[in-house]
């Protein structure tokens, strides 16, 4: 099984979904560590309760992003991971850090990239009047939220939705596709070629997963 380190900044709900998948045997991976850039990240308690080692590299203790990146990379490499997974990690990582983990650094973003990179994706989707929204798992590159796409899940935007209801519908799909993407990586079923993700064997379903519409929608 591959060794996985997860980076969080808050409650880490996607981290929890990965831990549950690994614990059930659905994910052929060993979560060897959970790291946070905030000492008050509640996901640290979740990880500890599951017996996973945790560490904090507080970004506020460093004078520059480069110094923080260096310290975070040293903390990650202590666990000798095969894959690093960002799960609600709210720090922009520098180019040297990203290059260090090139091809083994995944992120999940709450929009159907390339639409709405950055923050407040649900608010922006509603403001634009979208009827379809979703999430994207992608490899991280130095270009923010523009790495090669592994899998996407789409959900309907329903009449009467606000940020909270739309975010909850998207989050349910995040918890579905992130363990799936990590499993594909663990099983060596995907690779990068010419800046795109290539599947070397059939995956479970299409690369774009459409969630069932909510009852009555």
Task: For 38, list phi and psi in degrees, rounded to 5.
Answer: -130, 130
d(CA 102, CA 126): 34
d(CA 132, CA 71): 39
Element (H, E) at 96: helix 95-100
Residue 98 CB contacts under 8 Å (≥ 6 apart), including other chains: 105, 140, 141, 142
Q: Roughly how many angstroms between the first and final C-alpha of the chain, as a whole number?
A: 41
Is 109 tagged catalytic?
yes
Kindly name the residue from 59, 109, 122, 175 that is annotated as catalytic: 109
17 by Cβ neighbours in 10 Å (0-12 / 13-18 / 19+) ranks as buried
Calculate Rg over the CA atoms of the chain: 17
d(CA 137, CA 30): 20
115 by Cβ neighbours in 10 Å (0-12 / 13-18 / 19+) ranks as middle
Q: What is the DSSP letter of 90?
A: -
Active site residues: 109
């Amino acid at each position: 099984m591959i060794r996985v380190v997860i980076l969080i900044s808050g409650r880490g709900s996607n981290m929890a979904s990965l831990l549950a998948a690994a614990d059930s045997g659905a994910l052929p991976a060993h979560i060897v560590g959970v790291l946070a850039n905030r000492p008050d990240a509640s996901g640290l308690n979740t990880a500890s309760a599951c017996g996973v080692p945790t560490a904090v590299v507080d970004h506020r203790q460093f004078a520059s992003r480069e110094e923080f990146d260096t310290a975070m990379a040293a903390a990650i490499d202590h666990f000798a991971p095969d894959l690093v997974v960002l799960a609600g990690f709210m720090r922009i990582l520098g180019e040297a850090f990203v290059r260090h983990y090139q091809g083994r650094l995944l992120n999940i973003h709450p929009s159907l990239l390339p639409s709405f990179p950055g923050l407040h994706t649900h608010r922006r989707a509603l403001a634009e009047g979208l009827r379809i929204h979703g999430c994207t798992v992608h490899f991280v590159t130095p270009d923010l939220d523009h790495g090669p796409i592994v899998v996407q899940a789409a959900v309907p935007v329903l009449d009467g939705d606000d940020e909270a209801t739309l975010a909850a519908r998207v989050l349910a799909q995040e918890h579905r596709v992130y363990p799936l993407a990590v499993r594909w990586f663990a099983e060596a079923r995907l690779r990068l070629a010419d800046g795109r993700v290539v599947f070397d064997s059939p995956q479970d379903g299409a690369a774009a997963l459409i969630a069932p519409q909510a009852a009555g929608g």
